[in-house]
């Protein structure tokens, strides 16, 4: 029983991180209709950014979220307004899929050239502490990571639900043309949404850096995880990302504990395929309706 | 009246409790050009979608050539002889006009060998010969509508459901389209036409079915229908019970 | 172009390809062998992805299944005589088994469209790969041996040059036959608009499944031969994301959905990466990625598309069409 609870706890903690790492992907998918295969790069870039800030300047990764988020916001905005916008307007949404894939290859290669192929971890002072929780134990970094993820997800949900900016994004997602006619600058909003998605991914990366080892090649896994989270939870909303992320975390933890640690990937993808066949719009559906 | 080609009894369709088509009966005789009119949202396209099998019936039955076709998938209904030209043109954009029509001619029936003859015939009926080798992407609205009809005709249907083929066309193009539908009928295909352009409908149709808010409110010759008070009321916008459609 | 001329040119190319290993060294023989293999894969992918518009991101699953099936057939049931002909049966069976597997998963998975199909196939390849890797019966983790009974006095690179060359030729002929047939028209109409195709009497479900199975058989066959050509392999030798992605990239660069596109795209990309950049292994990904981005932005129809619109600019028929409401 303790083992089961411990596994569940581990799964939920992991799931919180998955949620944060996927929410930007989900937002971009929902609002722009683009499957951004560069997403994992943003996550890994966030982790490397946190690593540099921590080792060179001694800045704690959690504080590093702020500059990393801002930097990736800028990168995401420019990237969407240039390359992705060009691809969508000249070819198609599918073309944007391939373009983001090409950029991901370049960026992964670039990161490997700069940081080498080695596995990195970030180890702040609280790395090795853990807290007893009844019969269970939980690492401090994991609590911190989960807490930070939930805070960021909540902030994003509030921004989307309560602010003018959030309403504009939702309007744009549902009816780009009508939104444009109502005086919204849709191109700019798409850029901002993409930037926001990239910033969330970067923040997730900084948090992941303190919990898990990473390399440039991990980007593929983070992109796929984001896709699975979206398929499980539903497109476009922080709530969907949270549901999908927690489910994925639990699946991962239970499989590792009870089936075999080497089969977690297989289990995740099996659930993905089954979910696609049974309910392709995710448990919470598309936050922006069936317009796409 | 001659043989009944297509008939519906109690045809009903609901979407999540909203009834779009309620208890509609119809009999379309072979060899006719039939009209289907009604205000926006009356359920005309829904009715066509039920006949082609794009939607499943909620109630009632549809018989084609005496057979109940309610359970058949779309492509089987096409093979049985029901074709449809869409209101919103759906060409295969990357294929040429000829290839578009060829897809219509190639499938379903034995004797695919004469497919090429049918393609030529369909292109001729629609007056698309000169555009045959262009890609469908970038055709004008008028040419796209003709392509819809040509491609549907190429499946050699006994019934062609034409969904607003004249919408958005200028008077010359409308006239060409009416001529095209007449030729289709002369070649033995029954036509059921949804159309807003009353001039086109009354000039080409033998009989007209009128539906409003999902229910059939009238049927008759163009003259009868135009004079029918219910129809006038529906078009002038009496308060409706149900905005379904 | 004249039919006879095309035929003559094709024969000349085949003859030249047959004689080529006499002139070039083993390095280039291997490069061209890799080209034959990769072009065959791209053509097979294009049958489903290019013609029918169903982009699979996980076609490596058939390479892996093909290779492992051949290895297990030979070690558990074989050998089937000696000499190179003993390879024929295991290779054919492997291709057929991949086709069978495809036929089984086809019905549910082909109900998914677009990106969902693409990612589901990626999922299938991951699941199958992990299972082969982790279930001990398959020996994916430790690896399997698949010895090639080479004809006496033949270098392995020469032997596989001819085997892959013959398979590429077969794939090209199959692709041409498909494209020119009803089957090909059905696939194109599915790619362009599946619902309308159905309305025109195309049995879309059946044609999609046929394309999927045919593609799987071809890739599985190539995978089995690839297994022989490497001799010893583990899961990660044959279940490789970059195999899946290269098939797409090569088609994209040459021109997706065209007959010559996959071959041209493969030739160009392999020339760049294997010959021009053979000494800069660490920036392969960077270059490949840059080429992919450049192609999409500059010539979305690939090289074939660019050539076509260059030689015969598309005539616009007056005013622009209305919304096609997809």
Looking at mean pLDDT, say which of A279-283, C24-28, C57-61 comes out highest: C57-61
* Residue C312 near chain B (CB below 8 Å): no
Is the per-residue pLDDT at A260 higher than 60? Answer: yes
CB–CB contact B103 C321 (8 Å): no
CB–CB contact B138 C195 (8 Å): no
Nearest residue on chain B to C204, judged by CA atoms? Answer: B75
Number of domains in chain B: 1
Is the per-residue pLDDT at C320 higher than 60? Answer: no
**Is B244 within the bounds of a domain?**
no
How close A110 comes to chain C (CA, Å)?
7
Pick from A94, A104, A260: CB nearest C134: A260
* Residue B220 near chain C (CB below 8 Å): no
How many whole angstroms from its chain centre is CA B140? 21
Residue ranges of domains in chain C? 26-240
Chain C residues within an 8 Å CB radius of B137? 314, 321
Nearest residue on chain C to B151, judged by CA atoms? Answer: C200
Q: What is the mean pLDDT of residues C52-79?
A: 92
Chain B residues within an 8 Å CB radius of C257? 94
pLDDT score at B105: 87
* Residue C111 near chain B (CB below 8 Å): no
State pLDDT tens for residues C154-165: 888 899 999 999
**Is B116 within the bounds of a domain?**
yes
CB–CB contact C317 B106 (8 Å): no
pLDDT score at C170: 96
Is the per-residue pLDDT at C245 higher than 80? Answer: yes
* Residue C291 near chain A (CB below 8 Å): yes
Q: Do chains B and A touch (3 or more CB pairs under 8 A)?
A: no
B59-64 and B4-15: which strand pairing? antiparallel
How close A102 comes to chain C (CA, Å)?
4
State pLDDT tens for residues B157-187: 899 999 888 888 888 888 889 899 999 999 8
**Which residues 135-164 on chain C approach chain B with CB closer than 8 angstroms?**
none
Q: Do chains B and C touch (3 or more CB pairs under 8 A)?
A: yes
How close C295 comes to chain A (CA, Å)?
9
Looking at mean pLDDT, say which of A239-243, C42-46, C132-136 comes out highest: C42-46
Nearest by Cα to B126 from B109, B101, B103: B101
Of A237 and A52, the structure prediction assigns the larger pLDDT to: A52
How close B138 comes to chain C (CA, Å)?
5
The answer to whether the CB of B108 falls within 8 A of the CB of C289 is no
* Residue C108 near chain B (CB below 8 Å): no
- Comparing A115-119, A191-195, A244-248, which segment has the lowest mean pLDDT? A115-119
In chain A, % of residues over pLDDT 70: 94
Is the per-residue pLDDT at C315 higher than 70? Answer: no
In chain C, % of residues over pLDDT 70: 94
* Residue B108 near chain C (CB below 8 Å): yes
pLDDT score at B161: 92
Of B196 and A100, the structure prediction assigns the larger pLDDT to: A100
For residue C311, give every residue at least 6 positions away whose Cβ sits within 8 Å of its Cβ, in sequence order, or none.
Answer: none
Distance, in Å, from the CA atom of A106 to the CA atom of A104, rounded to the nearest integer, reads 5
Q: What is the mean pLDDT of residues C118-124?
A: 86
Tokens describing residue B97:
């006009």
pLDDT bucket at B85, cuts 50 / 70 / 90: confident
How close B164 comes to chain C (CA, Å)?
14
Chain C residues within an 8 Å CB radius of B78? 198-201
Nearest residue on chain C to B88, judged by CA atoms? Answer: C324
In chain B, % of residues over pLDDT 90: 28
Q: Taking the CB of residue A162, how many other CB atoms lie within 10 A of it?
A: 10
pLDDT bucket at C326, cuts 50 / 70 / 90: very low
pLDDT bucket at B87, cuts 50 / 70 / 90: confident
Burial class (CB in 10 A: 0-12, 13-18, 19+), C54: buried
For A135, the 3-state DSSP assignment is: coil
pLDDT bucket at A246, cuts 50 / 70 / 90: very high
How close C244 comes to chain B (CA, Å)?
26
State pLDDT tens for residues C264-306: 999 998 998 888 877 777 888 888 888 888 888 888 778 888 8
**Is B245 within the bounds of a domain?**
no
**Is B23 within the bounds of a domain?**
yes
CB–CB contact C300 A91 (8 Å): yes
**Is B224 within the bounds of a domain?**
yes
Distance, in Å, from the CA atom of C74 to the CA atom of C85, rounded to the nearest integer, reads 13
Computed over every residue of chain B, the mean pLDDT equals: 86
CB–CB contact C200 B103 (8 Å): yes
Q: What is the mean pLDDT of residues B68-76?
A: 87
* Residue C200 near chain A (CB below 8 Å): no
What residues make up the domain containing B177?
Answer: 4-236
C-alpha distances in Å from residue C201, one per residue of B35, B50, B73: 24, 16, 10
Supply the CATH number for residue B172's domain.
3.40.50.300
B190-194 and B33-37: which strand pairing? parallel
How close C157 comes to chain A (CA, Å)?
30
How close C94 comes to chain A (CA, Å)?
23
* Residue B170 near chain C (CB below 8 Å): no
B207-212 and B33-37: which strand pairing? parallel
Distance, in Å, from the CA atom of A275 to the CA atom of C306, rounded to the nearest integer, reads 39
Distance, in Å, from the CA atom of A254 to the CA atom of A262, rounded to the nearest integer, reads 12
Q: What is the mean pLDDT of residues C44-66?
A: 94
CB–CB contact B89 C198 (8 Å): no
Q: What angle do CA C53, C55, C60 make, to 5 degrees?
A: 140
Computed over every residue of chain C, the mean pLDDT equals: 87
pLDDT score at C1: 58
C-alpha distances in Å from residue B144, one per residue of A162, B35, B123, B169, C318: 45, 21, 12, 11, 12
pLDDT score at A292: 36
**Is B243 within the bounds of a domain?**
no
Is the per-residue pLDDT at C151 higher than 70? Answer: yes
The answer to whether the CB of A61 falls within 8 A of the CB of A54 is yes
Distance, in Å, from the CA atom of A27 to the CA atom of C274, rounded to the nearest integer, reads 39
CB–CB contact B78 C317 (8 Å): no
**Is B241 within the bounds of a domain?**
no
Of A238 and A48, the structure prediction assigns the larger pLDDT to: A48
Burial class (CB in 10 A: 0-12, 13-18, 19+), C316: middle
Distance, in Å, from the CA atom of A261 to the CA atom of A263, rounded to the nearest integer, reads 5
Q: What is the mean pLDDT of residues A255-278?
A: 84
Q: What is the mean pLDDT of residues B55-63?
A: 91
Is the per-residue pLDDT at C64 higher than 90? Answer: yes
Chain A residues within an 8 Å CB radius of C245? 101
Distance, in Å, from the CA atom of C288 to the CA atom of C37, rounded to the nearest integer, reads 19
* Residue C318 near chain B (CB below 8 Å): yes
* Residue C277 near chain A (CB below 8 Å): no
Q: What is the mean pLDDT of residues A246-272?
A: 87
Nearest residue on chain C to B75, judged by CA atoms? Answer: C201
In chain A, % of residues over pLDDT 90: 37
Please compute, for residue B195, the number of CA atoms within 13 A of its CA located in the half-sphere on the CB side: 27
Distance, in Å, from the CA atom of C266 to the CA atom of C42, rounded to the nearest integer, reads 8
**Is B21 within the bounds of a domain?**
yes
For residue C4, give every residue at least 6 positions away whose Cβ sits within 8 Å of its Cβ, in sequence order, or none.
Answer: none
pLDDT bucket at A116, cuts 50 / 70 / 90: confident
- Residues B175-194: b if buried by 16+ CB within 10 A, e if exposed: ebbbebbebbbeeebbbbbb
Residue ranges of domains in chain A? 8-119+132-278
Compute the count of residue pairs across chains B and C with CB atoms less than 8 Å apart: 107
Q: How many residues does chain C have?
A: 326
Nearest residue on chain A to C117, judged by CA atoms? Answer: A276
Protein fold of A8-119+132-278: ABC transporter involved in vitamin B12 uptake, BtuC (1.10.3470)
* Residue C180 near chain B (CB below 8 Å): no
C-alpha distances in Å from residue B104, one per residue of B42, B85, B137, B157, B178: 30, 11, 17, 10, 21
pLDDT score at A191: 92
pLDDT score at B62: 93
Chain A residues within an 8 Å CB radius of C285? 105-106, 108-109, 112
pTM score: 0.83
């Amino acid at each position: 029983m303790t083992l089961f609870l411990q596994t569940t706890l581990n799964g939920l903690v992991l799931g919180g991180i998955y949620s944060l790492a996927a929410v930007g992907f989900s937002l971009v998918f929902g609002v722009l209709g683009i499957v951004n295969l560069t997403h994992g790069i943003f996550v890994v870039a966030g982790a490397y950014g946190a690593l540099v800030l921590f080792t060179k300047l001694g800045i704690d990764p959690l504080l590093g979220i702020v500059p990393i988020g801002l930097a990736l916001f800028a990168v995401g905005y420019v990237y969407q307004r240039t390359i992705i916008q060009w691809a969508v307007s000249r070819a198609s949404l599918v073309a944007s899929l391939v373009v983001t894939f090409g950029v991901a290859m370049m960026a992964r290669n670039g990161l490997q050239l700069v940081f080498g192929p080695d596995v990195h971890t970030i180890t702040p002072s609280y790395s090795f502490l853990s807290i007893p929780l009844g019969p269970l134990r939980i690492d401090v970094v994991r609590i911190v990571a989960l807490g930070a993820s939930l805070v960021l997800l909540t902030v994003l949900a509030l921004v989307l639900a309560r602010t003018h900016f959030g309403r504009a994004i939702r309007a744009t997602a549902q009816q780009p043309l009508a939104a444009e006619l109502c005086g919204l600058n849709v191109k700019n909003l798409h850029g901002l949404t993409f930037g926001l998605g990239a910033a969330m991914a970067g923040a997730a990366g900084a948090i992941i850096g303190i919990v898990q080892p990473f390399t440039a090649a991990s980007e593929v896994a983070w992109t796929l995880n984001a896709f699975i989270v979206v398929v499980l939870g539903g497109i476009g909303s922080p709530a969907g990302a949270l549901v999908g992320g927690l489910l994925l975390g639990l699946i991962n933890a239970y499989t590792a504990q009870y089936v075999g640690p080497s089969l977690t990937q297989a289990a995740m993808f099996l659930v993905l395929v089954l979910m696609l066949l049974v309910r392709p719009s995710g448990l919470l559906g598309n936050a922006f309706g069936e317009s796409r | 009246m001659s043989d009944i080609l297509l008939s519906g009894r109690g045809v009903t369709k609901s979407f999540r409790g909203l009834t779009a088509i309620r208890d509609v009966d119809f009999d379309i005789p072979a060899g006719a050009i039939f009209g289907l009119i009604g205000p926006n949202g009356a359920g005309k396209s829904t009715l066509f979608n039920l006949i082609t099998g794009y939607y499943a019936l909620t109630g009632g039955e549809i018989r084609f050539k005496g057979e109940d076709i309610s359970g058949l998938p779309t492509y089987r209904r096409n093979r049985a002889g029901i074709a449809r030209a869409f209101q919103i043109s759906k060409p295969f954009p990357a294929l040429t006009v000829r290839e578009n029509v060829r897809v219509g001619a190639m499938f379903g029936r034995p004797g695919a060998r004469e497919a090429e003859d049918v393609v030529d015939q369909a292109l001729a009926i629609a007056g698309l010969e000169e555009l045959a080798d262009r890609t469908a992407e970038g055709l004008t609205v008028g040419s796209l509508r003709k392509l819809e009809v040509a491609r549907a005709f190429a499946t050699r249907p006994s019934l062609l459901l034409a969904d607003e083929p004249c919408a958005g066309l200028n008077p010359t193009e409308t006239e060409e389209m009416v001529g095209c539908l007449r030729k289709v009928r002369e070649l033995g295909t029954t036509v059921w036409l949804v159309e807003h352009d009353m001039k086109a409908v009354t000039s080409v149709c033998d009989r007209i079915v009128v539906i409003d808010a999902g229910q059939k409110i009238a049927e008759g010759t163009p003259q009868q229908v135009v004079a029918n008070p219910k129809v006038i009321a529906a078009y002038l916008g009496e308060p409706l019970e149900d905005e379904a459609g | 172009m004249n039919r006879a001329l095309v035929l003559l040119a094709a024969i000349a190319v085949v003859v030249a390809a047959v004689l080529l290993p006499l002139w070039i060294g083993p390095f280039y023989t291997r490069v061209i062998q890799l080209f034959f293999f990769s072009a065959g894969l791209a053509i097979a992918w294009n049958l489903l992805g290019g013609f029918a518009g169903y982009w699979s991101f996980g076609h490596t699953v058939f390479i892996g299944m093909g290779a492992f099936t051949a290895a297990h057939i030979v070690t558990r049931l074989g050998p089937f005589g000696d000499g190179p002909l003993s390879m024929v049966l295991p290779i054919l069976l492997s291709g057929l088994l991949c086709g069978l597997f495809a036929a089984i998963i086809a019905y549910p998975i082909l109900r998914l469209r677009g990106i969902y199909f693409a990612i589901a196939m990626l999922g299938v390849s991951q699941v199958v790969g992990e299972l082969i890797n982790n279930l001990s019966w398959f020996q994916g983790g430790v690896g399997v041996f698949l010895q090639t009974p080479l004809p006496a006095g033949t270098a392995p690179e020469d032997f596989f040059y001819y085997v892959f060359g013959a398979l590429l030729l077969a794939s090209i002929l199959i692709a041409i036959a498909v494209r020119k047939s009803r089957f090909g028209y059905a696939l194109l109409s599915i790619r362009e608009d599946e619902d309308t195709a159905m309305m025109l009497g195309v049995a879309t479900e059946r044609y999609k499944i046929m394309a999927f199975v045919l593609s799987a058989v071809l890739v599985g066959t190539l995978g089995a031969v690839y297994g022989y050509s490497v001799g010893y392999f583990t899961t990660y030798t044959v279940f490789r994301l970059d195999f899946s992605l290269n098939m797409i990239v090569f088609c994209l660069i040459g021109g997706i959905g065209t007959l010559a596109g996959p071959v041209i795209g493969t030739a160009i990309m392999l020339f760049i990466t294997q010959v021009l950049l053979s000494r800069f292994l660490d920036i392969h990904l960077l270059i490949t990625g840059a080429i992919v981005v450049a192609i999409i932005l500059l010539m979305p129809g690939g090289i074939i598309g660019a050539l076509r619109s260059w030689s015969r600019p598309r005539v616009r028929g007056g005013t622009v069409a209305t919304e096609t409401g997809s």
